[in-house]
């Protein structure tokens, strides 16, 4: 801003000095930074870098522990081990709606023509292949990768979600 009658900024005694606008601008920017910077740091602080949570690799016993054609519930690990003629699958028992543990599979009845599992919290119903038969669950139950450890035991990796056709043949 140049007032009428005042000398142009490039000449006169002000030459080479920092303009009022630049000084104030820097000051305000610094002020803003002093608030935003710590705020961002504080938010970052709340996200832990190390957590002490359970492992995602679970040893679930030997293949011969599971009779062919059965679905076993592993309560502690919150999953189902399905053994059918094709091999082994690990189906998550964590409801995809709001993470309650869905119940054990029960026989077909008048309402549902296939064996199904019901979630106690909000009534979602799942089929053996994870499909949602009813209720608020937005997607099918997850399948986890099953592999064999060198010692011959089954290993389920709850961090690795696989397609439902992914089978461990034993």
Partner 1 sequence: MRNGWTSGILDRVTASQPWKSVFRHGYPATELDRMATMFTNFFLHLLPAKVHPNSLRLTYTWALGMVTFYLTAILFVTGFLLMFFYIPATDWAYRNMKDLQFAVSFGLLLRNMHRWAAHGMVALVFLHMCRVFYTASYRPPREFNWVLGVLLWLLTLGLSFTGYLLPWDQLAFWAITVGTSIASYPPWIGETLRVLMLGGQQVGQGALLRFYVLHVAILPAVLGVLVAIHFWRVRKDGGLSRPEGASPAAVSSPGAEGRFVPGPQKTYALMEVVQGTTPMATTQAPEEEVPTWPQLLFRLLVLFQLVLGVIVLLGIFFDAPLEELANPTHPPNPAKAPWYFLGLQELVSYSALVGGVVVPGLLVLGLMSIPYVDRAVKGEGIWFTSAQGKRIALWSFLGTIPFTLGLLYLNTRFGLRRFFPDATQGVVDLLNPATLLLVGIAAFSIIVGRCTHSRRMAAIALFSSYVSGYVLLMVIGTFFRGPNWDWVWPW
Shortest Å, Cβ 164 to partner 1: 15
Shortest Å, Cβ 21 to partner 1: 33
Residues 79 and 143: beta-carbon distance below 8 Å: no
Shortest Å, Cβ 98 to partner 1: 4
- The dihedrals phi and psi of 147, each to the nearest 5 degrees, come to -140, 175
* Rounded-to-integer distance, Cα 108 and Cα 147, Å: 30
User: Which stretches of the chain are DSSP H helices?
Assistant: 20-45
- Among 71, 72, 133, 170, contact with partner 1 (rule: CB under 8 A): 133
Site string for partner 1, 32-71 (x = CB under 8 A): --------------xxx--xxxx-----------------
Q: Does 164 bind partner 1 (CB under 8 A)?
A: no
Stretch that binds partner 1, among 8-16, 33-41, 94-102, 149-157 (CB under 8 A): 94-102
Question: How many CB atoms lie under 10 A from the CB of residue 147?
Answer: 14
Beta bridge partners of 147: 155
- The dihedrals phi and psi of 60, each to the nearest 5 degrees, come to -120, 25
- Would you tell me which residues interact with partner 1 (CB under 8 A)? 46-48, 51-54, 75-76, 78, 97-101, 103, 118-123, 131-136, 138-139
């Amino acid at each position: 801003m140049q007032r009428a009658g005042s000398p142009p900024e490039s000449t006169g005694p002000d030459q080479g000095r920092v303009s009022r606008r630049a000084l104030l601008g820097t000051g305000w920017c610094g002020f803003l930074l002093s608030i935003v910077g710590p705020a961002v740091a504080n938010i970052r602080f709340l996200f832990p870098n190390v957590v002490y949570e359970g492992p995602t690799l679970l040893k679930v016993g030997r293949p011969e522990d599971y009779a062919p054609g059965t679905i076993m519930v592993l309560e502690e690990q919150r999953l189902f081990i399905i053994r059918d003629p094709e091999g082994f699958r690990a189906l998550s028992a964590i409801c995809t709606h709001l993470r309650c543990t869905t119940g054990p599979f029960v026989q077909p009845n008048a309402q549902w023509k296939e064996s199904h599992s019901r979630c106690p919290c909000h009534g979602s119903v799942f089929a053996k292949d994870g499909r949602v038969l009813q209720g608020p669950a937005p997607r099918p139950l997850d399948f986890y990768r099953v592999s064999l450890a060198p010692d011959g035991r089954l290993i389920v990796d709850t961090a690795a979600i696989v397609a439902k056709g992914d089978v461990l043949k034993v």
